Amino acid sequence: MRILTGLQPSGKLHIGNYFGAIEPAVRLQQAGDAFYFIADYHAMTSSQDASTLRQNVRELAIDYLACGLDPTRAIIFRQSAVPEVHELAWLLSSVCPMGLLNKCHSYKDKIAQGLAANHALFAYPVLMAADILLYDAQQVPVGKDQKQHLEVARDLAIKLNETYGDSTVVVPEPIIREETALVLGIDGRKMSKSYQNTVPIFGEEKALRKLIMKIPTDSTPVEDPKPVEGSILLAFHALFASPDEHKEMIAAHLNGGVGYGDLKKRLFDAYWSYFAAMRERRETILTDESYVDDVLADGAKRARVIAHKVLERVRDAVGLS
């Protein structure tokens, strides 16, 4: 089984990134051939600052490794280090109906958030399809917000196969963890950097504690039971705590006698403990300046071997060889 997933280098990783993409990726790297890329081409749809992009790419590579991606088990690389992806994107564009892209909600959402309407943003799903199909990926972990783009990749793979032959590309399948595919932000909306409602994975303890303590709650008195349904505190706590610890947290809500301040402290302790080993691993990685560069260079070399074979097969099928 071949698995592939990628993340945009758009700033500090948050827990939505972790539970939606990275944690499943860490588990799945032992299930088959795993390809994990840093989507720096995609990041250019929202930022055109070169120094920021370079910094974000490196930070994401460090965080990938700190969170448990293992370069001896998986291929970890920069999207831009495999330029073959653009040729495949063009070949997919030649069979992509405009109506398919017009239906994609992500473009409309990004425009509504103030991003400039440009071709890269509109054609984002085609490049994402090329990211997947270039490596014969069979399974792709995605969050609910990216599910439509994977459906586009499947549609384009099927269209290419119908046009040029059934074995031209592999049609991928999604892997979606329903219980954590959509992580809420501290304001109750989907966690997103664009909403400024994220909780980072890594950072300074005092600042992160302050962030958790700022999570909005209602005015229920200390002595009264606290609402359980729709509780942001409980939704977060379920991500980090053991089942028994979470039952105790629910009981503290239902029984009353515990204020929101104390409940938030319990939440922070669970959160801080959950990522402790990853923080330690990150500090170790930072002591070797060449390690990340070496991992990315080796990953790109290995990825291009596969990409070249797949692209040559597609070129032959469409008549370009």
Mean pLDDT of 11-16: 90
Please state the length of the chain: 321
Quote the CA–CA distance of 245 and 237 in Å, as a whole number.
9
Residue 190 bears catalytic tag: yes
Q: Is the pLDDT of residue 177 over 80?
A: no
Q: Return the ∠ at Cα 205 (arms to 61 and 295), rounded to 5°.
A: 15
- Write down the domain spans for the chain: 2-183+289-318, 203-274
Closest-CA residue to 29 (of 3, 6, 7, 61): 3
Catalytic-labelled residue, pool 190, 210, 226, 309: 190
State the pLDDT at residue 145: 66
State the pLDDT at residue 19: 87
Quote the CA–CA distance of 77 and 303 in Å, as a whole number.
8
More confident residue, 114 or 191: 191
Q: Is the pLDDT of residue 276 over 80?
A: yes
Q: Residue 179: pLDDT band by 50, 70, 90 thresholds?
A: low
Catalytic-labelled residue, pool 103, 110, 144, 206: 110
Residue 12 bears catalytic tag: no
Residue 65 tokens read as: 């490794």
Q: Which string of b and e fits 253-278 if b means at least 16 CB within 10 Å?
A: beeeebebeebbebbbbbbeeebeeb
Q: pLDDT above 90 covers what percent of the chain?
A: 75
Q: Is the pLDDT of residue 181 over 70?
A: no
State the pLDDT at residue 155: 96
Q: Is the pLDDT of residue 212 over 80?
A: yes
Q: Residue 288: pLDDT band by 50, 70, 90 thresholds?
A: very high
Predicted TM-score (pTM) of the model is: 0.89
CATH architecture of 203-274: Orthogonal Bundle (1.10)
State the pLDDT at residue 165: 95
Q: What is the pLDDT of residues 216-247, one digit of tens each?
A: 999 999 999 999 998 999 999 999 999 999 99
Catalytic-labelled residue, pool 12, 103, 193, 265: 193
- Average pLDDT of the chain is 92
Residue 110 bears catalytic tag: yes
Choices 3.40.50.620, 3.90.180.10, 3.90.550.10, 1.10.510.10: CATH for 2-183+289-318: 3.40.50.620
CB distance 184 to 20 below 8 Å: no
Q: What is the pLDDT of residues 300-310, one digit of tens each?
A: 999 999 999 99
